């Protein structure tokens, strides 16, 4: 079974609007971490936001927030006030327990329209 | 500045040739990783290492080899057994253990077959 599932291969959003990128995960561990990365066309991977499985509040980092629904095993990324520079691939990832192995989803390509 | 360097940025391989991709980090991280990314796809784990002189196969290790003789270095060799090596290769490192510590990525190497 896939550890991380991103069901939206591509998304369009109008500049200045908010957008939600979906991510569901599969684990039987109680302790895990969830990450979102941005990959522009240059190829670099940029860390955006982290959510721990024991964190009671949703993580926020500037315009990025993570909508964490533990019972549904979802960790959706919300980008508020989209900017043209947000156009990129976005990857959801998970790290289980004490393991140092990260699992990545297949990514969502976001296009921000002017 | 601390970070991860990968070289070369572009690499060309002839048929039947072994090539080695370099990855160096000065973040004092114990764990290092190699990922392969095909166009429009997610990251697939090739190998990872949690300690010097030890490494584990990832999901697509066939046709690749690694070494970890020094903490800061984790070179990847693409052997002639890898029949479809054209891809973008990303090296990453992280602190051991769980929690908020993300992976840090290098800028990547694009490998092309002549």
Q: How many CB atoms lie within 10 A of CB A100?
A: 24
Q: Report residue B10's pLDDT band, with 50, 70 and 90 as the boundaries.
A: very high
What backbone phi and psi angles, to 5 degrees, belong to A50?
-130, 145
> Cβ contacts of residue A71 below 8 Å, gap of 6+?
none
Per-residue pLDDT at A97: 72
Q: Which of B33, B43, B104 sits opposite A91 (nearest CB)?
A: B43
Q: Check pLDDT > 60 for residue B98.
A: no
- What residue in A sits closest to B4 (Cα-Cα)? A44
**Running DSSP on this structure, what letter comes out for residue A17?**
S
Q: Taking CB atoms and an 8 Å cutoff, what residues of chain A touch B98?
A: 31-33, 95, 97-98
Question: A36 forms bridges with which residues in the sheet?
Answer: A49, A92
Question: What was the pLDDT predicted at B1?
Answer: 63
Which pLDDT score is estimated for B21?
96
What's the pLDDT tens digit per position in B38-94?
988 889 999 999 999 999 999 999 999 999 999 999 999 999 888 899 999 999 998
**Model pLDDT, residue A104:** 93
Q: What is the pLDDT of residue A98?
A: 66
Report yes or no: B27 at the A interface, CB cutoff 8 Å. no
Q: Are A46 and A38 in contact (CB under 8 A)?
A: yes
Instruction: Name the percent of chain A lying above pLDDT 70.
Output: 97
Residue A99 CA neighbour count, 13 Å, CB half: 16
Q: What is the mean pLDDT of residues A55-82?
A: 96
pLDDT over 90 percentage in chain A: 85
CB A18 within 8 A of CB A79: yes
CB contact under 8 A, A45 and B99: no
In this model, does residue B97 exceed pLDDT 70? no
């Amino acid at each position: 079974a896939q550890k991380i599932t991103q069901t939206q291969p591509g998304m369009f959003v109008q500049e200045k609007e908010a957008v939600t990128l979906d991510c569901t995960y599969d684990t039987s561990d109680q302790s895990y971490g969830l990450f979102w990365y941005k990959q522009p066309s240059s190829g670099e991977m940029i860390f955006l936001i982290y959510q721990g499985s024991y964190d009671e509040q949703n993580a926020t980092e500037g315009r990025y927030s993570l909508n964490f629904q533990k019972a549904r095993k979802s960790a959706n990324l919300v980008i508020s006030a989209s900017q043209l520079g947000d156009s990129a691939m976005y990857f959801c990832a998970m790290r289980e327990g004490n393991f140092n192995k990260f699992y990545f989803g297949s990514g969502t390509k976001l296009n921000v329209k002017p | 500045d601390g970070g991860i360097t990968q070289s070369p940025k572009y690499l060309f391989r002839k048929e039947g040739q072994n090539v080695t991709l370099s990855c160096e980090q000065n973040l004092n991280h114990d764990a290092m990783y190699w990922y392969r990314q095909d166009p429009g796809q997610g990251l697939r784990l090739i190998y990872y290492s949690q300690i010097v002189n030890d490494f584990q196969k990832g999901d697509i290790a066939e046709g690749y080899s690694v070494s970890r003789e020094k903490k800061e270095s984790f070179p990847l060799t693409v052997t002639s057994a890898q029949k479809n090596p054209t891809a973008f290769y990303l090296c990453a490192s992280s602190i051991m253990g769980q929690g908020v510590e993300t992976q840090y990525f290098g800028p990547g190497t694009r490998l092309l077959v002549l």
